[in-house]
Chain A
């Protein structure tokens, strides 16, 4: 216990900084993934053929192991001199987020009951109004569930990104491994687990708070 206190005294600020770095990497990737995935998911509800193709591509993408994807990206991005660091990690995380976000958006909007959609049409809502006022609010909890999956996934993958120089909490673990220092490994792991739980908790809170009462069950 004493050793732990001493360890934390020395390393707490660093762990905190790395956690911030980790959060920024994952947060930015999720934001961009949302900007692509949600509109795409909504659009796909109007074209079933395309939906099948895109969901299939996204699902194959998700089966690619993260370390292998990094391995592929380094040579590709080194063409533009960004082989190592933030950019390949960021791009990988955006790609990995696509499947949960697109799929959940797509199924959620698809599942909005046809009667409700008809009622909205009957009230004279324009397509954009219908989307914003009827379909998205009703699909919200499922879309949020997709986002939560993506965030937790990305926080884990972000650890591996330390190997390609993207920083974050993975640094503690990789350093721990190379130095044979279990304190670093354990503190890094716990920090990652806590980060994942906090992020999931916050998103769950948002999901609950902004889900229309009538459909929350």
Chain B
């Protein structure tokens, strides 16, 4: 019994050690120096990166959730099939291609990147909204209707709270994915920390690579953690999270 615990402890210590070794190695090779020597640029890129993610994610939430809610209404059930398949098809297109194709429509720049990120965030948000609402036991809705709840009351008091776990998980997935995809915004001239990563690749400059890649990584991990905390706060205690597979 205890042996198992010790083993798990050893593995996590090893991983932490590996991460520590990496950071020591990177620091001792002064790979993080650009963050300090060019701190103005760094902060500018970071701000751009956050703006890209924030604006596109917010837009996606504002569009994907209402659409997901709409197609799960009784009278719109038939539209669900069409919308879901369109959105699914959209996802098979690589993120890089979505960005690239936007250039020919919107030209180069921040807006293009935001729009591409927005398009790319729709799927996880939409899919999880629909799945969350669909997974609610039909009997619950029946009971609610039988009690004389109005459709809008059923939506806000029953459907959304019980789907909230799934919906929030969709938002989290999309936002975290977005942080990564925003690093590709460089290719459409959208700025962000990807600028340093790509500069690093082109110049074989490990300093730019690390100074760009590590902050993006930490940002993704940190935001993921933060949103998970938020989920735990918001999701009503009684509606259990579905098992992940």
Q: Hey, which bits of chain A sit against chain B, CB under 8 A? A: 47-50, 52-54, 57, 60, 63-72, 74-76, 78, 83, 103-104, 107, 142, 145-146, 152, 156, 159-160, 163-164, 170, 173-174, 176-177, 180, 182, 185-186, 188-189, 192-193, 196-197
**A residues within 8 A CB of B179?**
65
Interface stretch (choices B40-48, B57-65, B192-200) = B192-200
* Interface pick from B2-10, B72-80, B122-130: B2-10
Also in contact, A68 and B201, with CB within 8 A (given A63-B224, A176-B100, A182-B104): no
B95 contacts chain A at the CB level, 8 A cutoff: yes
Q: Does the CB pair A54–B11 fall under 8 Å?
A: yes
Q: How far is the CA of A75 from the CA of B26 in the complex (A)?
A: 9
Give chain B residues whose Cβ lies under 8 Å from the Cβ of A173: 94, 96-97, 100
| Interface pair A185/B206, CB less than 8 Å apart | no
Segment of B132-140, B160-168, B208-216, B232-240 engaged in the interface with chain A? B208-216
Which of chain A's residues have a CB closer than 8 A to the CB of B204? 83
Asked if A189 contacts B93 (CB within 8 A), the reply is yes
B244 close to chain A: CB less than 8 A: yes
Q: Can you give 9 A-B contacts (C-beta < 8 A)?
A: A49-B7, A57-B15, A67-B197, A67-B213, A74-B206, A83-B204, A103-B244, A107-B243, A182-B104
> If A74-B206, A159-B97, A177-B103 touch, does A67 touch B244 (CB 8 Å cutoff)?
no
Residue B12, interface by CB 8 Å:
yes
* Given known A65-B180, A103-B244, contact A71–B213 (CB-CB < 8 A): yes
Q: In the complex, what residues of B have CB within 8 A of residue A192's CB?
A: 92-94, 97
Residue B183 at the A interface, CB < 8 A? yes
With a 10 A CB-CB cut-off, give which of A69, A71, A163, A196 has the most chain B CB atoms: A71
Inside 8 A of A48's CB, which chain B residues have their CB? 4
Contact check, A67 vs B15: say whether CB atoms are below 8 A apart.
no
**Quick one: closest B residue to A65, CB to CB?**
B180
The yes or no answer to B110 lying at the interface (CB within 8 A) is no
A-B pairs with lowest CB-CB distance, top 10:
A65-B180, A71-B213, A189-B97, A49-B8, A75-B206, A193-B92, A68-B213, A50-B8, A68-B216, A159-B94
CA distance A188 to B93 in the complex (A): 10
B93, B187, B220: the one within 8 Å of A177 (CB): B187
Q: For the complex, is B217 an interface residue (Cβ under 8 Å from A)?
A: yes
Does residue B114 face the partner (Cβ distance < 8 Å to A)?
Answer: no
Known: A53-B8, A159-B94, A189-B93. A65 touches B100 (CB 8 A): no
Q: Which residue of chain B is the closest to A190 with respect to CB atoms?
A: B93
Q: Which residues of A contact B224 (CB under 8 A)?
A: 60, 63
CA distance A113 to B220 in the complex (A): 37
Interface residue from B11, B92, B209 paired with A75 (Cβ < 8 Å): B209
Shortest A14–chain B CB gap in Å is 17
| A88 to B179 CA separation, bound complex (whole angstroms) | 21
A75, B96: Cβ atoms closer than 8 Å: no
CB-CB under 8 A from B104, the residues of chain A are 182
Q: What CA separation (Å) do A81 and B4 show in the bound complex?
A: 38
On whether A78 and B206 interact (CB within 8 A), knowing A65-B216, A159-B97, A185-B101, the answer reads yes
B184 proximity list for chain A (CB < 8 A): 67, 160
B209/A47 in contact, CB under 8 A: no
